[in-house]
Structure 1
Amino acid sequence: MRIFKAVFFLVLVFAAFSVHAQTSADLKRQREALTQQLEQLNREYQETASNKKTTLKQLNLLKQQINIREQKISNINSEVRNLDNQISESNHSVRNLQSQLDQLKKEYAAMVLFTYRNQSAYNKLMFIFASKDFNQAYKRLKYLQQIGTYRERQANYIQETQTELHVKINELDKNKKEKNNLLVDQEKEKKTLGDEKNAQVQVVADLSKHEGLLKQQQQDIQKKIAKKNKEIAATIRREIEEARRKAEEEARAAARAAAAAAAKAKAENREVATPKVRTINKNSSNSEVLNATPEAAKLSSDFLDNRGSLPWPVANGSVKQGFGIYYDETRIKNESLGWDIKTNAGASVRAVFQGEVSNVKDVSGTYLVVIKHGEYFTAYSNLKSVTVRAGQKVTTKQVIGTVATDSSTGDAIVSFSLYKGTNPVNPKIWLAPN
């Protein structure tokens, strides 16, 4: 029973270490990905800094670097905590294994002593012949045989426990070294973070000298965003009004057909079943209107079923501005109704799901494309060129255009928004992890 408990304990310890190992691997991959992003941002920052002219792009790159570096430091903290747990469990395992090893050695020593005292063949024979009957003699013979087998098994247990103890001690040493390396890396990242924050203060100070120009740039950006959002809202309203008009016409046509059928049945003196007509009126919700047809309802259902797994509108990209309230460089409060995704210059922009193009419009020099997916809408703006037209059916990942590049910053950014009816929703819960 004692050995069974020991084996059961080892199984639990191994399972716990497996979970931690998996978590450690995930954290390490995340840290490596953050390091790659930081290296890319640093290269871009060095390119802009070499121009010897403070620009808004420098400030944006510094903000991104600071944000990602803080994520990396947080990631390292998680790794260190994880290693602390593993070290604590390793210490506990080592103590338990050492205790089990000591106990096994004591039991083995007692067994060896017993065997030594009774090692002569004469003693063994006397032990057997002293039996009361044949049955007891047989049991004593089997007992002597079992002692030999048990001693051999105990020796194997001791060897296995020693091996396991050696493995755990090696794991413990490895985890301690890895923790020390992480702490050194963490200190370097904290120092670099401090340098970047100081550089950010300097860049802001330089930009403040041109505050008027900076505010004008921000105002122009906000005007373009407001114009884009207004056009998206207008497109969705038109789609709702058109869907309502069609649904009302279909309901009236169905009612007329039902009335005609009823009149004909009455004239022929027979009964007719009154069909159930789905009515759309001014009190119907936007969801009811947009899902009035079976095709639209199915498309909405399919879109919803893919929540969390929709492809990104670009093959490669990172979120520069997320969904919700934020403050720009001039400390003006703004609200983002979608994601600004930074990608490669000239990258193809693609539909995240099948649907029908509702609108293609030039907004402040770049194109906006709105696609309808039942009661859901996706909008793609800041496109240099488009390959679709209004009314066209599109499929998932179909290219609809190419991203435009900002001449002043050199950034290629596509703005992506997702709406349920007239309500904007956070793309984060809809798009697949990148």
Structure 2
Amino acid sequence: MKLNKLFLSLLFVALCSTVFAQTTKELTRKKEALQREIELAEKNLKKTTNGKKLTVGQINTIKAQVRLMQEKISTINSEMKNLDNQITENTGKVHNLQSRLADLKKEYAGMIRFAQRNRNSYDKMMFIFASKDFNQAYKRIKYLQQFGQYRKKQAAYIQGTEKDLNYKIVILDKDLKQKNNLLKEQVNEKSKLDKKKGEQTVVLNQLSKQEKQFSQDIQKKKQQQAAIQRQINAEIQRIIALERKKEEDRLKEEARLAAAKAKAENRPAPVAAAPAKAKTNSEMLRSSPADAKLSDDFEKNKGSLPWPVSAGIIVSHYGAYKVGQATGENNGITYQTEEGAGVRAVFNGKVTRIGDMMGKFFILIRHGEYFTVYQNLKTVSVSVGQTVATKQNIGTAATNDGIPEVVFQVNRGGNALNPESWIAR
């Protein structure tokens, strides 16, 4: 019974330690990823600080850095909370093991005293011969045998418990040192965050002095984006119209064949069926089995699509935005990445359009009823009509105000969707 309790206790300790280790590993990975993103933002920010003119890239980069630093501090806090729970848990385990060890030693001491009182063969023989009958004598022989075996087991339990206790003390000491390191890291990160917030205040003050020029720059970018968006929308509508024409031609051909068959069989021509309800754009784009399957596969990967860049940070999110007094609408998300970074397709599909706007390119890829758009490319490595695979390189990122950026969109049947719902976090 005692052996079972000890086994279950050790199993529980092992399971808890495994869960804690996994959580700690995940938090550490997240923290390291955030640090890489912070360093990338700082590297790109240095490219723009030499100019006196304030840029959208500078503001977005500093805002992103502040957000990433806050997230890193939050991750450190989670690590500390996790570690506090582990320290509390291990402290309890140390106390339990100490108590268990004391009980085992006390019980073992009693057995030693009994063994000493019956330490010679004569005493054992007298203990057996003093039995009332043969049955009791047999039981006393078995008792002495089992007692010896149990004493050996108890000695092994004591050694094992001492080993577990020493191990837990080492782990507890390690946890306490790790917590101390995390506290130092937290203080350091808060200091960096305060400094970055100071930089943000300076930039915002500078923005108020350059508001007019800045608003003009924003307006110019909005006009360029609107021109690109018109091309994208026109291409999607062209594809939809083409699919609708195919559907109409198919229905006409079916009606012609039915009429020809009726005439050959000397029957009245079939009455044309009432026109069916017009299909939606999405239904038209998935009318073929191949497109329907591709659409379904794309949907199944919602929330796990790879980023269009292998390394980067999101500096502008989907939807309405405001920078200073200037406002706008973003149909996608903007990734800041590394100079010369490759841009890749997020899913299998076919390239349907490559556009050029003021020396920069955008690529439209169709995935059944879905489309993905990749804007602000310096070079393009695919062609219209080409089939691409997930993570296949399709070009390289261009710069805006000296910072490498890629704008990414997801569209379904002509309607813009929030890409952050589709990409992996």
Partner of 1:207: 207
Q: Distance in 2 between matches of 1:428 and 1:323?
A: 8
CA shift for structure 1 position 216: 0.9
Q: Is contact 1:346-1:405 (8 Å) kept?
A: no
CA displacement, residues 389-429 of structure 1 (integer Å, 9 cap, x when unaligned):
444444444443332222xx211211111112122223234
1:306 equivalent to 2:298? Answer no
Partner of 1:128: 128
Q: Distance in 2 between matches of 1:225 and 1:47?
A: 24
Q: Is contact 2:87-2:172 (8 Å) kept?
A: yes
Partner of 2:154: 154
1:421 equivalent to 2:413? Answer yes
Alignment of 1:98-137 (within 5 A): 98-137=98-137
CA shift for structure 1 position 83: 0.2
Partner of 1:247: 247
TM-score by length of 1: 0.89
Partner of 2:174: 174
Q: Distance in 2 between matches of 1:378 and 1:74?
A: 33
CA shift for structure 1 position 164: 0.7
User: Matched residues, percent identical?
Assistant: 45
CA displacement, residues 255-309 of structure 1 (integer Å, 9 cap, x when unaligned):
2213323443456x9xxxx9xx999856212222111122222222232333344
Partner of 1:55: 54
Amino acid paired to 1:336: N
Alignment of 1:336-355 (within 5 A): 336-355=330-349
1:233 equivalent to 2:238? Answer no
Partner of 1:321: 316
SS at match of 2:406: strand
CA 1:278–1:129 in structure 2 vs 1: closer, same or farther (change >3 Å)? Answer: farther
Range that drifts further, 302-311 or 21-30: 302-311
CA shift for structure 1 position 182: 0.6
Q: Distance in 2 between matches of 1:320 and 1:12?
A: 44
Q: Is contact 2:301-2:422 (8 Å) kept?
A: yes
CA shift for structure 1 position 387: 4.1
Range that drifts further, 106-115 or 393-402: 393-402
Q: Distance in 2 between matches of 1:370 and 1:42?
A: 31
Q: Which runs of 5+ in 2 are unaligned?
A: none
Q: Distance in 1 between matches of 2:32 and 2:356?
A: 40
1:77 equivalent to 2:77? Answer yes
Q: Distance in 2 between matches of 1:30 and 1:20?
A: 15
Q: Distance in 2 between matches of 1:279 and 1:416?
A: 43
SS at match of 2:52: coil
Q: Distance in 1 between matches of 2:287 and 2:41?
A: 48
SS at match of 1:404: strand
Q: Is contact 2:61-2:315 (8 Å) kept?
A: no
Q: Distance in 2 between matches of 1:281 and 1:370?
A: 31
CA 1:354–1:58 in structure 2 vs 1: closer, same or farther (change >3 Å)? Answer: closer
Amino acid paired to 1:53: K
Q: Is contact 1:235-1:359 (8 Å) kept?
A: yes
Amino acid paired to 1:104: L
CA displacement, residues 313-339 of structure 1 (integer Å, 9 cap, x when unaligned):
3343332223233322x1444332222
SS at match of 2:279: coil
CA displacement, residues 239-259 of structure 1 (integer Å, 9 cap, x when unaligned):
212211211111121122133
Q: Distance in 2 between matches of 1:258 and 1:188?
A: 80
Partner of 1:357: 351
CA displacement, residues 346-369 of structure 1 (integer Å, 9 cap, x when unaligned):
333333333333322223442222
Q: Distance in 1 between matches of 2:408 and 2:349?
A: 16
CA shift for structure 1 position 47: 5.0
SS at match of 2:278: coil
Q: Is contact 1:339-1:415 (8 Å) kept?
A: yes
SS at match of 1:370: strand
When the two chains are superposed, the root-mean-square deviation of aligned CA atoms in Å is 2.6
CA shift for structure 1 position 70: 0.6
CA shift for structure 1 position 158: 0.9
After TM superposition, where is structure 1 displaced by more than 4 Å over at least 4 residues in a row?
277-282
Amino acid paired to 1:431: I
Q: Is contact 1:54-1:203 (8 Å) kept?
A: no
1:411 equivalent to 2:403? Answer yes
Amino acid paired to 2:251: A
Partner of 2:279: 284
Q: Distance in 2 between matches of 1:30 and 1:424?
A: 30
| Number of residues of Structure 1 aligned to a counterpart in Structure 2 | 422
Range that drifts further, 72-81 or 196-205: 196-205
TM-score by length of 2: 0.91
CA shift for structure 1 position 11: 0.8
Q: Distance in 2 between matches of 1:73 and 1:42?
A: 17
CA displacement, residues 22-79 of structure 1 (integer Å, 9 cap, x when unaligned):
1111111222222233334334444544x27363244333222211111110010000
Q: Is contact 1:248-1:280 (8 Å) kept?
A: no
Alignment of 1:258-269 (within 5 A): 258-266=258-266
SS at match of 1:68: helix
SS at match of 1:405: strand
Of the two structures, which has the highest relative contact order with CA contacts closer than 8 Å and spacing of 6 or more? 2
Q: Distance in 1 between matches of 2:349 and 2:43?
A: 39
Range that drifts further, 409-418 or 385-394: 385-394
CA 1:183–1:279 in structure 2 vs 1: closer, same or farther (change >3 Å)? Answer: farther
Alignment of 1:88-99 (within 5 A): 88-99=88-99
Range that drifts further, 385-394 or 203-212: 385-394
Q: Is contact 1:248-1:281 (8 Å) kept?
A: no
Partner of 1:378: 372
Amino acid paired to 1:160: G
SS at match of 1:361: strand
Q: Which runs of 5+ in 1 are unaligned?
A: none
CA shift for structure 1 position 204: 1.6
CA 1:238–1:257 in structure 2 vs 1: closer, same or farther (change >3 Å)? Answer: same
